Structure 1
Amino acid sequence: MSANDPYARLPEVPSFTVTSTSVQDERPLQAAQLSGIFGVRGGGDVSPQLSWSGAPLGTKSYAVTVYDPDAPTMSGFWHWAVANIPATVTSLPEGAGDDAGSGLPGPAFQLPNDARVTRFVGGAPPAGHGRHRYLITVHALDVEDIAVPAGSTPAFLVFTMASHTLGRATLIGTAETPGAAEVVERIEVSRLIPALAGDIFAVLTDPKGHADIDASGMLMDAEGERVEQPGDRFLVHMDRDALGDLPLGKYDVEVVITNLIPDEEIAWTVEGRIRPHARHVYGYRLEPTEGGTLVTSYYDWSEIDEEWKERLVFPVVPESALKATLGILERTVRRRTAARPDAAGTR
């Protein structure tokens, strides 16, 4: 997609700060902010939580817009527009932009978006069209009432705001839908770890080792015996509140080993309290090489249950998380081997 900046065509104004618990800047949108209305599996069409601060002096109201400049049109695509947010308001809860605008403060109101519905519509880039950006912007205005009709288009709102804008704060979510020939159902990342395969495998077969190398912050602890063969299980204590994305709180899951070849490969799936089980698979392959062991971490969702395809947008675990876990694995192996009485590894 072109890296065009749609705000380059507007008067330059100071920036201020906008944050969100729903969207990370320059990161893919969560399923909740994708569009089930437009057919995205698991899409929730839930407007993001927003908080802002540092608006210029003289701000009398705010407007919020969500805009995709990369849509295959000559004018982009407006997903959401809210006008007349009072200057005393500096946040919107997640889901404020539902059909009723239930989370909006009076006298704020929503304008019809480019789908001609008066609500937030999530991202839904066409398959194979590449990475789309979703510009989530809070506009600080010098008037309490921007004086546009409720049935106006978002483009007309922005046109009217141009001469009243004191500041503008933007964060960017992204989304991409693979084309038919681009569907990926497995992620693999590799890292050369300067350690013996046996020392690395000792961490991966230890239930507490799984909590030690977790990069998500959700794995609190683990209980069980060291695994030795497919079918072995152990318990993991999870805390979804660590991510702040889904209201699942604290819960337990069972890790079920699906493949185990000593010092060469280990893989597992996870069984939780929700049925049917998703059946996505996590694993590691170990290949001794010059300088240590080449460790490949993989996440495979090719065999997930059909019901889960409707519940979640895969991959649940991004490539960046696999890379982070490999880094933590190297650190954990180094610390454990250094703490051993003999301080020597075995293959």
Structure 2
Amino acid sequence: MSANDPFARLPEVPSFEVGTVSTAGPAWLEGKDESPHLAWRGAPAGTRSYAVTVYDPDAPTGSGFWHWAVADIPATVTELPEGAGDDTGSGLPEGAVQLPNDAGVARFLGAAPPAGHGPHRYFVVVHALDVESLGVPADATPAVLGFTMAPHTLGRAVLVATAETPGPERIEVSRLVPAPADAVFAVLADPKGHVDIDASGMLMDAEGDPVRRAGDRFRVHMDREALGDVPLGKYEVEVVITTCRPGEEIAWTVEGRVRPHARHLYGYRLEPAGDGTRVTSYYDWSEASAEWKERLDFPVVSETALKATLGILERTVRRRAAAA
């Protein structure tokens, strides 16, 4: 989210109050194309009309995104009902002009930030103007409205809301390993194989037999000091196998001393490809509890780390084959 202020380079004007009591709650912030109820008071003396705009300066466009723009609202009006900005402007007062938004339609458009782009701010603004009509044509853009009303603005009432669309809670990377799937799987099913291919430097050792089925477990000795991020020091975790299809796929979650368990998932899919095996490493934190998502910054393991592990996996498979 950028920190830019859309009014930073406009003339400073007094502020007044605006609020909302929408019965739909934050529906418009969840993508519903229904404008919020707005009520305002305390506009400066001399106000002869209002304009209302909704603008997202954080949209990945280089120019932000206008969700709503209404001009020529009479000075006697100090409230707009919920849903006023529909296709016909049915809730707008007589004389008001609803302009096309940045999607090209003359109506209110709900918030819909791109998935994974982070939080977006939505500036809901009532502009108090010193003219009864700005004279902007009905097909004018919100930018033209802003330019036209700048010298006529007596005050602004600003309400800032935020919305965010979570991105995919999963990472996948692939690499062609020049070895049979069974040889690759043998490393992944071996507790000490997990230590051998670790790219983080946290896995010190492992105890347990090679896994054969879902539900099998083995113990891993960890040293978080290798990362220097969280002061956990040395500790142990149990790796719990959740999927085990020899030569095809293996996945697991990790259980530590802290409850509830985080329940993020790690795994590998193996597919024959050319003279080797296409190995896809994945990390999925979609099932992690809200408590853990507040406690940690996911993903805990980066895409770069997954790629590094695949490189080490190829090297480990090759070395084990040479030693056999």
TM-score by length of 1: 0.49
Q: Which secondary structure does the structure 2 equivalent of 1:315 belong to?
A: coil
Match of 2:238 among 233, 248, 254: 254
Q: 1:222·1:237 contact (CA, 8 Å) conserved in 2?
A: yes
Identity of aligned residues (%): 70
What residue number does 2:217 align with?
233
Shift of 1:305: 1.6
Unaligned 5+ segments in structure 1 are 1-67, 77-125, 131-174, 341-347
What residue number does 2:118 align with?
177
Q: Which secondary structure does the structure 2 equivalent of 1:274 belong to?
A: coil
Letter in 1 for 2:118: T
What residue number does 1:71 align with?
3
Q: 1:128·1:182 contact (CA, 8 Å) conserved in 2?
A: no
RMSD over aligned Cα atoms: 2.4
d(CA) in 2 for partners of 1:239, 1:224: 18
Shift of 1:289: 1.1
In the alignment, structure 1 residue 200 sits paired with structure 2 residue 184: yes
d(CA) in 1 for partners of 2:185, 2:274: 18
d(CA) in 2 for partners of 1:75, 1:243: 43
1:116-143 CA deviation, whole Å, 9 max, x = no partner?
xxxxxxxxxx97659xxxxxxxxxxxxx
Within 5 Å, give how 1:312-327 maps onto structure 2: 312-327=296-311
Please list every run of at least 4 consecutive aligned residues from structure 1 whose deviation after the TM superposition is greater than 3 angstroms.
Answer: 73-76, 126-130, 178-182
What residue number does 1:189 align with?
173
In the alignment, structure 1 residue 288 sits paired with structure 2 residue 272: yes
1:279-312 CA deviation, whole Å, 9 max, x = no partner?
0000000001102000000000111122101101
Q: 2:223·2:235 contact (CA, 8 Å) conserved in 1?
A: yes
Shift of 1:72: 2.8
Q: 1:204·1:266 contact (CA, 8 Å) conserved in 2?
A: yes
How many aligned positions are there?
Answer: 179
What residue number does 1:22 align with?
none
Q: 1:192·1:294 contact (CA, 8 Å) conserved in 2?
A: yes
What residue number does 1:223 align with?
207
Q: Which secondary structure does the structure 1 equivalent of 2:219 belong to?
A: strand
d(CA) in 2 for partners of 1:181, 1:292: 39
Match of 1:300 among 284, 297, 313: 284
Letter in 2 for 1:177: G
Letter in 1 for 2:260: P
Quick check: which has more Rg, 1 or 2? Answer: 2
What residue number does 1:337 align with?
321
d(CA) in 2 for partners of 1:261, 1:75: 59
Q: 2:118·2:166 contact (CA, 8 Å) conserved in 1?
A: no
